[in-house]
Amino acid sequence: MPQTTNEYLLILPFLVLSAGIIVSLCVELFFRKGKELLPYLSIALFLIVAYLSVGQIYEKNVLFGGMLITGGIPAIFNLLFAAAGVLVMLNSIGFLKKYGFYHGEFYLLTQLSVLGMMLMAGSGDLVTVFLGLELMSIPFYVLVGMNRKKVSANEAAMKYFLLGAFATGFIVYGIALIYGIMGNTSLIDLTENFYIYSENIIFITGFILILIGFSFKIAAFPFHMWVPDVYQGAATNVTGLMSTMGKSAAFSVIFILLTAVFMNDAGSKLGNYFAVIATLSMLYGSIVALSQNNLKRMLAYSSISHAGYMAIGLAAGNKAALAGIMFYLAAYTFMNLGAFGIISIIEGEEDKQTDLNSYAGLAKRFPFLAGMMALIMFALAGIPPMAGFFGKYYVFISAIQSNMTWLALVGILSSVISVYFYLRVVVYMYFKEPGEEISVKSDYSAYAAVIFAGILILSLGLFPDTFLSVIEYIISV
Protein backbone atom coordinates (compact mmCIF):
# COMPACT_ATOMS: atom_id res chain seq x y z
CA MET A 1 0.00 0.00 0.00
CA PRO A 2 1.95 3.06 -1.19
CA GLN A 3 -0.83 5.26 0.14
CA THR A 4 -0.20 4.61 3.81
CA THR A 5 2.10 7.49 4.79
CA ASN A 6 0.05 9.80 2.66
CA GLU A 7 -3.10 8.89 4.60
CA TYR A 8 -1.54 9.99 7.86
CA LEU A 9 -0.55 13.30 6.30
CA LEU A 10 -4.10 13.85 5.15
CA ILE A 11 -5.59 13.34 8.62
CA LEU A 12 -3.11 15.82 10.06
CA PRO A 13 -5.92 18.11 11.35
CA PHE A 14 -7.24 15.22 13.45
CA LEU A 15 -3.78 14.19 14.62
CA VAL A 16 -2.80 17.73 15.59
CA LEU A 17 -5.99 18.20 17.58
CA SER A 18 -5.62 14.80 19.28
CA ALA A 19 -2.02 15.55 20.22
CA GLY A 20 -3.12 18.96 21.44
CA ILE A 21 -5.75 17.36 23.69
CA ILE A 22 -3.12 15.16 25.33
CA VAL A 23 -0.75 18.12 25.74
CA SER A 24 -3.57 20.19 27.25
CA LEU A 25 -4.33 17.41 29.70
CA CYS A 26 -0.70 17.30 30.82
CA VAL A 27 -0.48 21.09 31.07
CA GLU A 28 -3.62 21.17 33.19
CA LEU A 29 -2.33 18.37 35.38
CA PHE A 30 1.28 19.33 35.99
CA PHE A 31 1.42 23.13 35.99
CA ARG A 32 -0.27 25.21 38.61
CA LYS A 33 -0.67 28.13 36.21
CA GLY A 34 -1.61 25.74 33.41
CA LYS A 35 -5.15 26.89 32.99
CA GLU A 36 -4.03 30.44 32.25
CA LEU A 37 -2.23 28.99 29.28
CA LEU A 38 -4.91 26.60 28.01
CA PRO A 39 -7.22 29.03 26.18
CA TYR A 40 -4.30 30.30 24.11
CA LEU A 41 -3.14 26.76 23.42
CA SER A 42 -6.67 25.87 22.26
CA ILE A 43 -6.86 28.93 20.02
CA ALA A 44 -3.50 28.01 18.48
CA LEU A 45 -4.73 24.44 17.92
CA PHE A 46 -7.93 25.58 16.26
CA LEU A 47 -6.00 27.98 14.04
CA ILE A 48 -3.69 25.16 12.94
CA VAL A 49 -6.71 22.97 12.21
CA ALA A 50 -8.26 25.80 10.20
CA TYR A 51 -5.04 26.35 8.25
CA LEU A 52 -4.66 22.65 7.44
CA SER A 53 -8.32 22.35 6.45
CA VAL A 54 -8.14 25.31 4.08
CA GLY A 55 -5.36 23.52 2.22
CA GLN A 56 -7.58 20.46 1.79
CA ILE A 57 -10.73 22.11 0.49
CA TYR A 58 -10.21 21.27 -3.17
CA GLU A 59 -8.82 17.74 -2.84
CA LYS A 60 -11.23 15.07 -1.74
CA ASN A 61 -9.77 11.83 -0.38
CA VAL A 62 -11.27 8.62 0.95
CA LEU A 63 -9.02 7.20 3.64
CA PHE A 64 -8.60 4.02 5.71
CA GLY A 65 -10.75 1.78 3.60
CA GLY A 66 -13.62 4.26 3.43
CA MET A 67 -13.76 5.07 7.14
CA LEU A 68 -12.86 8.72 6.81
CA ILE A 69 -13.24 11.36 4.12
CA THR A 70 -11.13 14.49 4.06
CA GLY A 71 -11.36 17.51 1.81
CA GLY A 72 -14.42 18.95 0.14
CA ILE A 73 -17.44 19.49 2.38
CA PRO A 74 -15.78 17.98 5.48
CA ALA A 75 -12.93 20.48 5.11
CA ILE A 76 -15.40 23.37 5.01
CA PHE A 77 -17.09 22.03 8.13
CA ASN A 78 -13.71 21.68 9.86
CA LEU A 79 -12.99 25.29 9.00
CA LEU A 80 -16.35 26.32 10.44
CA PHE A 81 -15.78 24.32 13.66
CA ALA A 82 -12.29 25.74 14.05
CA ALA A 83 -13.43 29.35 13.52
CA ALA A 84 -16.33 28.90 15.92
CA GLY A 85 -14.00 27.22 18.40
CA VAL A 86 -11.69 30.24 18.36
CA LEU A 87 -14.65 32.54 19.04
CA VAL A 88 -15.88 30.36 21.93
CA MET A 89 -12.40 30.30 23.44
CA LEU A 90 -11.97 34.07 23.23
CA ASN A 91 -15.36 34.42 24.84
CA SER A 92 -14.50 32.01 27.65
CA ILE A 93 -11.22 33.48 28.89
CA GLY A 94 -12.87 36.13 31.02
CA PHE A 95 -16.23 34.46 31.40
CA LEU A 96 -15.01 31.42 33.30
CA LYS A 97 -13.15 33.56 35.83
CA LYS A 98 -16.14 35.81 36.32
CA TYR A 99 -18.67 33.19 37.31
CA GLY A 100 -16.76 30.80 39.48
CA PHE A 101 -16.39 27.72 37.42
CA TYR A 102 -12.84 28.30 36.40
CA HIS A 103 -11.61 24.82 35.60
CA GLY A 104 -9.03 23.89 32.99
CA GLU A 105 -11.20 20.95 31.94
CA PHE A 106 -13.48 23.34 30.08
CA TYR A 107 -10.85 23.80 27.38
CA LEU A 108 -10.03 20.13 27.24
CA LEU A 109 -13.65 19.12 26.83
CA THR A 110 -14.22 21.75 24.15
CA GLN A 111 -11.28 20.42 22.17
CA LEU A 112 -12.58 16.86 22.54
CA SER A 113 -16.02 17.82 21.32
CA VAL A 114 -14.54 19.65 18.32
CA LEU A 115 -12.57 16.50 17.47
CA GLY A 116 -15.85 14.56 17.61
CA MET A 117 -17.54 17.06 15.31
CA MET A 118 -14.68 16.80 12.81
CA LEU A 119 -15.05 13.01 12.84
CA MET A 120 -18.78 13.36 12.23
CA ALA A 121 -18.34 15.73 9.32
CA GLY A 122 -15.64 13.53 7.77
CA SER A 123 -17.21 10.15 8.39
CA GLY A 124 -17.42 7.63 5.59
CA ASP A 125 -18.82 4.84 7.70
CA LEU A 126 -21.60 4.47 10.24
CA VAL A 127 -19.02 3.40 12.86
CA THR A 128 -17.26 6.75 12.48
CA VAL A 129 -20.58 8.58 12.63
CA PHE A 130 -21.43 6.89 15.91
CA LEU A 131 -18.01 7.41 17.51
CA GLY A 132 -17.85 11.04 16.38
CA LEU A 133 -21.35 11.68 17.68
CA GLU A 134 -20.53 10.30 21.10
CA LEU A 135 -17.15 12.03 21.22
CA MET A 136 -19.06 15.26 20.68
CA SER A 137 -22.05 14.56 22.94
CA ILE A 138 -20.38 13.20 26.07
CA PRO A 139 -18.15 16.29 26.54
CA PHE A 140 -21.28 18.41 25.95
CA TYR A 141 -23.14 16.65 28.80
CA VAL A 142 -20.20 17.38 31.09
CA LEU A 143 -19.82 20.98 29.91
CA VAL A 144 -23.49 21.74 30.53
CA GLY A 145 -23.31 20.40 34.07
CA MET A 146 -19.83 21.67 34.84
CA ASN A 147 -21.01 24.29 37.29
CA ARG A 148 -22.08 21.53 39.63
CA LYS A 149 -23.02 23.71 42.59
CA LYS A 150 -25.69 25.44 40.57
CA VAL A 151 -29.05 23.65 40.55
CA SER A 152 -30.13 25.04 37.19
CA ALA A 153 -26.96 23.75 35.54
CA ASN A 154 -27.54 20.33 37.13
CA GLU A 155 -31.07 20.24 35.86
CA ALA A 156 -30.03 21.29 32.36
CA ALA A 157 -27.30 18.66 32.31
CA MET A 158 -29.67 15.92 33.38
CA LYS A 159 -32.29 16.81 30.79
CA TYR A 160 -29.68 17.08 28.08
CA PHE A 161 -28.07 13.82 29.09
CA LEU A 162 -31.28 11.79 29.27
CA LEU A 163 -32.66 13.06 25.97
CA GLY A 164 -29.26 12.95 24.25
CA ALA A 165 -28.77 9.32 25.29
CA PHE A 166 -32.35 8.57 24.21
CA ALA A 167 -31.50 9.95 20.76
CA THR A 168 -28.34 7.85 20.70
CA GLY A 169 -30.48 4.78 21.34
CA PHE A 170 -32.54 5.56 18.23
CA ILE A 171 -29.42 6.13 16.15
CA VAL A 172 -27.75 2.88 17.22
CA TYR A 173 -30.87 0.81 16.61
CA GLY A 174 -31.27 2.46 13.21
CA ILE A 175 -27.66 1.65 12.34
CA ALA A 176 -28.22 -1.97 13.41
CA LEU A 177 -31.21 -2.32 11.07
CA ILE A 178 -29.36 -0.69 8.16
CA TYR A 179 -26.38 -2.95 8.74
CA GLY A 180 -28.64 -5.98 8.55
CA ILE A 181 -29.91 -4.99 5.11
CA MET A 182 -26.65 -3.72 3.61
CA GLY A 183 -24.33 -6.30 5.16
CA ASN A 184 -21.82 -3.53 5.88
CA THR A 185 -21.79 -0.10 7.45
CA SER A 186 -20.16 1.84 4.63
CA LEU A 187 -21.78 5.16 3.81
CA ILE A 188 -20.24 5.04 0.35
CA ASP A 189 -22.19 1.87 -0.38
CA LEU A 190 -25.26 3.47 1.14
CA THR A 191 -24.92 6.50 -1.15
CA GLU A 192 -24.33 4.47 -4.30
CA ASN A 193 -27.23 2.09 -3.81
CA PHE A 194 -29.55 4.35 -1.84
CA TYR A 195 -32.50 4.05 -4.20
CA ILE A 196 -32.19 0.26 -4.37
CA TYR A 197 -31.99 -0.14 -0.60
CA SER A 198 -34.77 2.33 0.07
CA GLU A 199 -37.26 -0.12 -1.45
CA ASN A 200 -36.70 -2.24 1.64
CA ILE A 201 -39.02 -1.51 4.55
CA ILE A 202 -36.49 -2.46 7.24
CA PHE A 203 -33.85 -0.21 5.68
CA ILE A 204 -36.23 2.75 5.58
CA THR A 205 -37.27 2.11 9.19
CA GLY A 206 -33.63 2.15 10.25
CA PHE A 207 -32.93 5.24 8.18
CA ILE A 208 -35.85 7.11 9.71
CA LEU A 209 -34.77 6.06 13.22
CA ILE A 210 -31.34 7.57 12.52
CA LEU A 211 -32.95 10.75 11.17
CA ILE A 212 -35.13 10.97 14.30
CA GLY A 213 -32.01 10.68 16.43
CA PHE A 214 -30.34 13.50 14.55
CA SER A 215 -33.52 15.58 14.64
CA PHE A 216 -32.98 15.63 18.42
CA LYS A 217 -29.48 16.93 17.86
CA ILE A 218 -30.50 19.68 15.43
CA ALA A 219 -33.35 20.68 17.79
CA ALA A 220 -36.23 20.32 15.33
CA PHE A 221 -39.81 20.55 16.56
CA PRO A 222 -41.24 17.29 17.89
CA PHE A 223 -37.83 16.55 19.40
CA HIS A 224 -37.08 19.97 20.83
CA MET A 225 -38.22 19.60 24.47
CA TRP A 226 -34.71 19.76 25.90
CA VAL A 227 -33.63 22.85 23.96
CA PRO A 228 -35.03 25.81 25.95
CA ASP A 229 -34.17 24.37 29.36
CA VAL A 230 -30.68 23.30 28.39
CA TYR A 231 -29.84 26.54 26.59
CA GLN A 232 -31.02 28.54 29.57
CA GLY A 233 -29.46 26.40 32.27
CA ALA A 234 -26.02 25.93 30.73
CA ALA A 235 -23.32 28.57 31.09
CA THR A 236 -23.70 31.09 28.28
CA ASN A 237 -20.47 30.23 26.48
CA VAL A 238 -21.36 26.53 26.58
CA THR A 239 -24.78 27.37 25.15
CA GLY A 240 -23.05 29.21 22.33
CA LEU A 241 -20.83 26.20 21.70
CA MET A 242 -23.54 23.57 21.51
CA SER A 243 -26.25 25.63 19.86
CA THR A 244 -24.02 26.40 16.91
CA MET A 245 -21.35 23.75 16.47
CA GLY A 246 -23.44 20.87 17.77
CA LYS A 247 -26.18 21.71 15.31
CA SER A 248 -23.74 22.11 12.41
CA ALA A 249 -22.18 18.73 13.18
CA ALA A 250 -25.56 17.01 13.23
CA PHE A 251 -26.40 18.64 9.90
CA SER A 252 -23.09 17.47 8.45
CA VAL A 253 -24.08 13.87 9.19
CA ILE A 254 -27.53 14.34 7.68
CA PHE A 255 -25.81 15.66 4.54
CA ILE A 256 -23.64 12.56 4.34
CA LEU A 257 -26.63 10.25 4.85
CA LEU A 258 -28.64 12.05 2.18
CA THR A 259 -25.80 12.57 -0.32
CA ALA A 260 -27.59 10.37 -2.85
CA VAL A 261 -30.72 12.50 -2.62
CA PHE A 262 -28.88 15.81 -2.88
CA MET A 263 -26.65 14.78 -5.77
CA ASN A 264 -29.48 13.48 -7.94
CA ASP A 265 -31.56 16.61 -7.47
CA ALA A 266 -34.33 14.08 -7.14
CA GLY A 267 -35.85 14.59 -3.74
CA SER A 268 -37.17 11.46 -2.07
CA LYS A 269 -39.96 10.02 -0.01
CA LEU A 270 -38.12 11.47 2.98
CA GLY A 271 -38.90 14.95 1.67
CA ASN A 272 -42.30 14.75 3.36
CA TYR A 273 -40.74 13.91 6.72
CA PHE A 274 -38.51 16.98 6.51
CA ALA A 275 -41.31 19.20 5.19
CA VAL A 276 -43.43 18.38 8.26
CA ILE A 277 -40.50 18.92 10.63
CA ALA A 278 -39.59 22.20 8.93
CA THR A 279 -43.10 23.64 9.07
CA LEU A 280 -43.69 22.69 12.70
CA SER A 281 -40.25 23.86 13.90
CA MET A 282 -40.43 27.22 12.16
CA LEU A 283 -43.90 28.10 13.36
CA TYR A 284 -43.51 26.67 16.88
CA GLY A 285 -40.13 28.33 17.43
CA SER A 286 -41.23 31.73 16.16
CA ILE A 287 -44.58 31.78 17.96
CA VAL A 288 -43.36 30.62 21.36
CA ALA A 289 -40.36 32.97 21.19
CA LEU A 290 -42.83 35.88 21.09
CA SER A 291 -43.70 35.35 24.75
CA GLN A 292 -40.17 34.99 26.11
CA ASN A 293 -38.59 37.59 28.34
CA ASN A 294 -35.35 35.78 29.02
CA LEU A 295 -32.92 36.42 26.19
CA LYS A 296 -31.22 33.02 26.38
CA ARG A 297 -34.57 31.27 26.28
CA MET A 298 -35.73 33.45 23.40
CA LEU A 299 -32.61 32.52 21.44
CA ALA A 300 -33.31 28.86 22.22
CA TYR A 301 -36.74 29.08 20.59
CA SER A 302 -35.23 31.06 17.73
CA SER A 303 -32.72 28.23 17.36
CA ILE A 304 -35.63 25.79 16.95
CA SER A 305 -37.11 27.92 14.20
CA HIS A 306 -33.72 28.25 12.49
CA ALA A 307 -33.48 24.45 12.49
CA GLY A 308 -36.83 24.59 10.71
CA TYR A 309 -35.54 26.94 8.00
CA MET A 310 -32.59 24.65 7.39
CA ALA A 311 -34.89 21.61 7.28
CA ILE A 312 -36.67 23.31 4.34
CA GLY A 313 -33.46 22.71 2.42
CA LEU A 314 -33.42 19.05 3.50
CA ALA A 315 -36.99 18.68 2.27
CA ALA A 316 -36.08 20.26 -1.07
CA GLY A 317 -33.14 17.87 -1.43
CA ASN A 318 -31.24 19.35 -4.36
CA LYS A 319 -27.75 20.74 -4.89
CA ALA A 320 -28.86 24.32 -4.38
CA ALA A 321 -30.32 23.28 -1.02
CA LEU A 322 -27.04 21.73 0.07
CA ALA A 323 -25.13 24.93 -0.73
CA GLY A 324 -27.88 27.02 0.87
CA ILE A 325 -27.88 25.07 4.13
CA MET A 326 -24.10 25.23 4.38
CA PHE A 327 -24.25 28.99 3.94
CA TYR A 328 -27.07 29.20 6.47
CA LEU A 329 -25.13 27.14 9.00
CA ALA A 330 -22.07 29.38 8.70
CA ALA A 331 -24.20 32.51 9.06
CA TYR A 332 -26.20 31.05 11.95
CA THR A 333 -23.04 29.95 13.77
CA PHE A 334 -21.51 33.41 13.77
CA MET A 335 -24.80 35.19 14.53
CA ASN A 336 -25.51 33.00 17.54
CA LEU A 337 -21.94 33.09 18.82
CA GLY A 338 -22.05 36.88 18.62
CA ALA A 339 -25.39 37.04 20.41
CA PHE A 340 -24.34 34.66 23.18
CA GLY A 341 -21.04 36.52 23.43
CA ILE A 342 -22.87 39.74 24.20
CA ILE A 343 -25.19 37.99 26.64
CA SER A 344 -22.16 36.52 28.42
CA ILE A 345 -20.63 40.00 28.77
CA ILE A 346 -23.80 41.53 30.16
CA GLU A 347 -25.08 38.76 32.42
CA GLY A 348 -24.19 39.01 36.09
CA GLU A 349 -23.84 36.45 38.85
CA GLU A 350 -26.51 33.73 38.79
CA ASP A 351 -27.78 34.80 35.34
CA LYS A 352 -29.72 37.70 36.83
CA GLN A 353 -29.06 40.00 33.91
CA THR A 354 -30.33 37.86 31.07
CA ASP A 355 -33.85 39.31 31.13
CA LEU A 356 -34.96 41.82 28.55
CA ASN A 357 -35.28 44.46 31.29
CA SER A 358 -31.53 44.38 31.82
CA TYR A 359 -31.16 45.49 28.23
CA ALA A 360 -33.41 48.55 28.63
CA GLY A 361 -31.45 51.65 27.71
CA LEU A 362 -28.33 49.69 26.94
CA ALA A 363 -27.54 52.04 24.06
CA LYS A 364 -26.86 54.86 26.53
CA ARG A 365 -24.61 52.84 28.82
CA PHE A 366 -22.77 50.65 26.36
CA PRO A 367 -23.28 52.08 22.87
CA PHE A 368 -20.84 49.64 21.32
CA LEU A 369 -22.43 46.50 22.77
CA ALA A 370 -25.90 47.77 21.92
CA GLY A 371 -24.81 48.47 18.35
CA MET A 372 -23.38 44.99 17.93
CA MET A 373 -26.47 43.42 19.49
CA ALA A 374 -28.68 45.38 17.10
CA LEU A 375 -26.57 44.24 14.15
CA ILE A 376 -26.86 40.62 15.24
CA MET A 377 -30.60 40.85 15.87
CA PHE A 378 -31.11 42.33 12.39
CA ALA A 379 -29.02 39.51 10.96
CA LEU A 380 -31.01 36.84 12.85
CA ALA A 381 -34.27 38.40 11.67
CA GLY A 382 -32.98 38.25 8.10
CA ILE A 383 -32.81 41.92 7.19
CA PRO A 384 -31.12 42.14 3.75
CA PRO A 385 -27.50 43.26 3.96
CA MET A 386 -26.78 40.78 6.74
CA ALA A 387 -25.75 37.12 6.49
CA GLY A 388 -29.03 35.76 7.84
CA PHE A 389 -30.97 37.10 4.88
CA PHE A 390 -28.92 35.27 2.27
CA GLY A 391 -29.07 32.04 4.25
CA LYS A 392 -32.86 32.13 4.20
CA TYR A 393 -32.93 33.34 0.60
CA TYR A 394 -30.87 30.44 -0.76
CA VAL A 395 -32.84 27.87 1.21
CA PHE A 396 -36.19 29.28 0.05
CA ILE A 397 -34.98 29.36 -3.57
CA SER A 398 -34.02 25.71 -3.37
CA ALA A 399 -37.49 24.85 -2.07
CA ILE A 400 -39.09 26.68 -4.99
CA GLN A 401 -36.85 24.78 -7.42
CA SER A 402 -38.18 21.53 -5.97
CA ASN A 403 -41.80 22.61 -6.41
CA MET A 404 -42.29 23.21 -2.72
CA THR A 405 -43.32 26.83 -2.96
CA TRP A 406 -45.80 26.42 -0.10
CA LEU A 407 -42.93 25.50 2.20
CA ALA A 408 -41.02 28.63 1.22
CA LEU A 409 -44.17 30.67 1.90
CA VAL A 410 -44.49 29.17 5.39
CA GLY A 411 -40.84 30.07 5.90
CA ILE A 412 -41.45 33.68 4.89
CA LEU A 413 -44.48 33.88 7.18
CA SER A 414 -42.43 32.56 10.07
CA SER A 415 -39.63 35.07 9.35
CA VAL A 416 -42.15 37.87 9.48
CA ILE A 417 -43.36 36.67 12.88
CA SER A 418 -39.81 36.37 14.12
CA VAL A 419 -38.97 39.99 13.22
CA TYR A 420 -41.17 41.02 16.17
CA PHE A 421 -39.17 39.36 18.91
CA TYR A 422 -35.78 40.15 17.42
CA LEU A 423 -36.59 43.81 17.02
CA ARG A 424 -38.12 43.93 20.49
CA VAL A 425 -34.58 43.59 21.85
CA VAL A 426 -33.48 46.54 19.70
CA VAL A 427 -36.44 48.59 20.89
CA TYR A 428 -35.58 47.84 24.51
CA MET A 429 -31.96 48.83 23.98
CA TYR A 430 -32.60 52.08 22.13
CA PHE A 431 -36.01 53.41 23.13
CA LYS A 432 -36.50 52.38 26.76
CA GLU A 433 -35.26 54.29 29.75
CA PRO A 434 -32.56 52.43 31.70
CA GLY A 435 -33.96 50.51 34.64
CA GLU A 436 -31.96 49.53 37.70
CA GLU A 437 -28.20 49.76 37.39
CA ILE A 438 -26.52 46.67 35.98
CA SER A 439 -22.92 45.78 36.71
CA VAL A 440 -20.79 44.68 33.79
CA LYS A 441 -17.18 43.64 34.18
CA SER A 442 -15.08 44.63 31.20
CA ASP A 443 -13.63 41.69 29.36
CA TYR A 444 -11.54 42.51 26.33
CA SER A 445 -11.19 39.04 24.85
CA ALA A 446 -14.97 38.63 24.84
CA TYR A 447 -15.25 42.00 23.08
CA ALA A 448 -12.79 40.68 20.51
CA ALA A 449 -14.94 37.59 19.99
CA VAL A 450 -18.04 39.74 19.45
CA ILE A 451 -16.19 41.98 16.99
CA PHE A 452 -14.92 38.98 15.00
CA ALA A 453 -18.42 37.53 14.89
CA GLY A 454 -19.76 40.88 13.66
CA ILE A 455 -17.12 41.12 10.95
CA LEU A 456 -17.87 37.59 9.78
CA ILE A 457 -21.62 38.25 9.70
CA LEU A 458 -21.13 41.41 7.65
CA SER A 459 -18.64 39.87 5.26
CA LEU A 460 -20.83 36.81 4.70
CA GLY A 461 -23.73 39.17 4.07
CA LEU A 462 -21.92 41.59 1.79
CA PHE A 463 -20.00 39.01 -0.24
CA PRO A 464 -22.17 35.89 -0.17
CA ASP A 465 -20.97 34.79 -3.59
CA THR A 466 -17.38 34.22 -2.51
CA PHE A 467 -18.35 31.59 0.04
CA LEU A 468 -21.17 30.13 -2.03
CA SER A 469 -19.11 29.70 -5.20
CA VAL A 470 -16.55 27.62 -3.26
CA ILE A 471 -19.30 25.33 -1.98
CA GLU A 472 -20.97 25.08 -5.38
CA TYR A 473 -17.65 24.25 -7.02
CA ILE A 474 -17.00 21.46 -4.51
CA ILE A 475 -20.47 20.02 -4.94
CA SER A 476 -20.27 20.06 -8.73
CA VAL A 477 -16.96 18.15 -8.80
Partner 1 sequence: MNSIPIEYYLILSAFMFSIGVTGVLIRRNAIVVFMSIELMLNSANLTLVAFSSYLGNPIGQVFVFFVMTVAAAEAAVGLAIIIAIFRNKLTVNIDEINIFKW
- Which positions touch partner 1 (CB under 8 A)? 126-127, 130-131, 134, 138, 141-142, 145, 148-149, 151-152, 154-158, 161-162, 165-166, 168-170, 172-173, 175-177, 179-180, 183-185, 228-229, 232-233, 288, 291-292, 297
Instruction: Give the residue with the Cβ less far from partner 1, 142 or 449.
Output: 142
- The least CB distance from residue 349 to partner 1, in Å, is 17
| Cα–Cα–Cα angle for 457, 458, 461, rounded to 5 degrees | 85
* Burial class of residue 12 (count of CB atoms within 10 Å of its CB; 0-12, 13-18, 19+): middle
C-beta of 55 vs 180, nearer to partner 1: 180
* Cβ closest to partner 1, residue 298 vs residue 456: 298
List the one residue out of 212, 227, 198 whose CA is nearest residue 169. Answer: 212
Q: At closest approach, how far in Å is the CB of 290 from partner 1?
A: 11
Contact 470, 322 (CB under 8 A): no
In the bound complex, what is the minimum distance in angstroms from residue 139's beta carbon to partner 1? 9
| Least distance (Å) between residue 446 CB and partner 1 | 25
Q: Which residue, 102 or 166, has its beta carbon nearer to partner 1?
A: 166
Q: Outline where 145-269 has alpha helix (H).
A: 151-182, 187-192, 194-197, 201-218, 226-233, 236-241, 247-257, 259-263
82 vs 146 by CB, closer to partner 1: 146
Give one word for 183, left, alpha or beta, with left for phi > 0 and alpha for psi -120 to 50. left
Nearest approach, Cβ of residue 165 and partner 1 (Å): 5
Nearer to partner 1 by C-beta: 55 or 222?
222
The dihedral over CA atoms of 290, 291, 296, 301, expressed in degrees to the nearest 10, equals -50
In terms of Cα–Cα distance, which of 266, 239, 262 is closest to 252?
262
- Of 377, 454, 357, 363, whose CA–CA distance to 418 is shortest? 377
Rounded to whole angstroms, the Cα distance separating 156 from 326 reads 29
Question: Closer CB to partner 1, residue 56 or residue 147?
Answer: 147
Amino acid letter for position 450: V
Contact (Cβ atoms closer than 8 angstroms) between residue 379 and residue 388: yes
| Beta carbon of residue 301, minimum distance to partner 1 (angstroms, whole number) | 9
- Which residue type, as a one-letter code, is found at position 139? P
User: At closest approach, how far in Å is the CB of 203 from partner 1?
Assistant: 12
Residue number, 205 or 445, with CB nearest to partner 1: 205
Whether the CB-CB separation of 88 and 109 falls below 8 Å is answered with no
- Minimum CB separation from partner 1 for residue 194, in Å? 19
